[in-house]
Amino acid sequence: MTDLALAVERLSVEIPTRRGVVRAVRDVSFGVSPGEAVALVGESGSGKTMTCRAIMRLLHPPARITGGAIWFQGRDLVMLAEPDLEQIRGSGIAMVFQDPMSALNPVLTIERQVAEALPPPAGPRAERRRRVVGLLRQVGLPDAEQRARAYPHQLSGGQRQRVMLAIVLARRPTVLLADEPTTALDVTIQAQILADLGRLQQQLSMALVLVTHDLGVVRRTVHRVAVMYAGQVVELAPTRELFAHPRHPYTLGLLDSVPSVDCTVPLMPILGTPPDPVGIGAGCAFAPRCPLASAECLRGEIPLAAVAPGRWSRCIKAERVGSDRGAAPAAQRS
């Protein structure tokens, strides 16, 4: 773990409800190195955002961490008190949320909000303004000096998301968690912001954890992918290898549900629905939807096991996944 910027080990999060306990995150493990980008992908409710909130220790009660460790700079964040966590949030680990409008203060100017994120000493007002405008330019905001005097409602969605990136980058964090940062934006703006985010990540040697449902974004943006289902990581692999040869039936289903570039490969939706998060039992949670499932898939917990160098799968039939799929269709997908 010494070469990792962030290491998550067997993290579990539970939410008590009237119906029972929701096991929102179950035994999740992954790491990210400086300058590396890792994506968390999966259907809605798979535990991606909850995992990031747990890393930041920003869970809303009654949600609570019930097991595991989150290692950052030699310390387990699960065990830290709130004053220590406040020193890490922002300057150590920062998070960009899906809706920038809800994260920005509507009654403060952009300049004021970015300036508040500058590490002390921020200097006199003229110096603060120079640094704010520089940050806004760095994240690709046009007419940065004019936009600095604006209020959030006067900016477009893409511009507000760039402001959020400027606020985050003001503290130069070691790890950046980006939760669906471009979901509400049009495709062109999405591509621009993701390109800028990748450029800034490399310039600052940040570790990036990207939460997204867009497999096209994943393929173009990240080095490794953690596929989540029902609160668990079911596959972890380098991006290129995962797209070429998935090792879990759920990953294969996700890839087969994405249109091919030339529309020659028919779409194959994943049949069924995700399991009820209350009272998930032993065995593979994907088994009711899996074409390879058998009785042995329901016997006991299935670990996330190594299936090749640098690759892990939570499937006892990983070698059979995609055996009849062929490499050519996989290469056409995006």
Q: Which of the residue ranges 78-82, 231-235, 268-272, 282-286 would you say has the lowest mean pLDDT? A: 268-272
pLDDT band at 327 (very low <50, low <70, confident <90, very high): very low
pLDDT of residue 323: 72
* Confidence at 232, pLDDT banded by 50, 70, 90: very high
Q: How far is the C-alpha of 4 from the C-alpha of 34, rounded, in Å?
A: 7
**Residue appearing with tokens 């990136």:** 165
pLDDT for 102: 79
Q: Is 317 helix (H, G, I), strand (E, B) or coil?
A: coil
Out of 48-52, 81-85, 185-189, least confident range: 185-189
> How much is the average pLDDT of 58-67?
96
CA-closest candidate to residue 68, choices 86, 45, 47, 43: 47
Instruction: Supply 284's token pair.
Output: 């593979």
pLDDT over 90, % of the chain: 65
Residue 330 binned pLDDT confidence (cut-offs 50, 70, 90): very low
Tell me how far apart the alpha carbons of residues 208 and 226 are, in angstroms, rounded to a whole number. Answer: 13
Confidence at residue 331, expressed as pLDDT on a 0 to 100 scale: 36
What percentage of the chain reaches a pLDDT higher than 70? 93
Q: Does the structure show a pLDDT above 60 at 220?
A: yes
The stretch 301-308 carries a mean pLDDT of 93
Q: Is the pLDDT of residue 326 over 60?
A: no
In 3D, which of 247, 268, 216 has the Cα closest to residue 316?
A: 247
Sequence letter at residue 145 = E
Residue 10 has pLDDT above 70, yes or no: yes
Mean local confidence (pLDDT), 112-122: 86
pLDDT value at position 241?
96
Q: Which of 210-214, 311-315, 321-325 has the lowest mean pLDDT?
A: 321-325
> Global pTM?
0.90
pLDDT at 329: 37
CA atoms within 13 A on the CB side of 70: 22
Q: Is the predicted pLDDT of residue 303 greater than 50, yes or no?
A: yes
- Indicate whether 332 pLDDT > 50: no
| Banded pLDDT at 333 (limits 50, 70, 90) | very low
Question: Is the pLDDT higher at 215 or at 28?
Answer: 28
Q: What is the DSSP letter of 174?
A: S
The pLDDT assigned to 328 comes to 38
147-169 pLDDT tens trace: 999 999 999 988 998 999 999 98
Q: How confident is the model at residue 299 (pLDDT cuts 50, 70, 90)?
A: confident
| Residue located via tokens 């939760």 | 179
| Residues 15-51: tens digit of each pLDDT | 999 999 999 999 999 999 999 999 999 999 999 999 9
> What does the buried/exposed string (b/e) look like for 208-225 if buried means 16 or more CB atoms within 10 Å of the residue's CB?
bbbbbbbbbbbbebbebb
Distance (Å) of CA 248 to CA 1, 72, 73: 26, 29, 32
Stretch among 94-98, 232-236, 322-326 having the lowest mean pLDDT: 322-326
pLDDT level of residue 97 (50, 70, 90 thresholds): confident
pLDDT band with cut points at 50, 70 and 90 for residue 261 = low
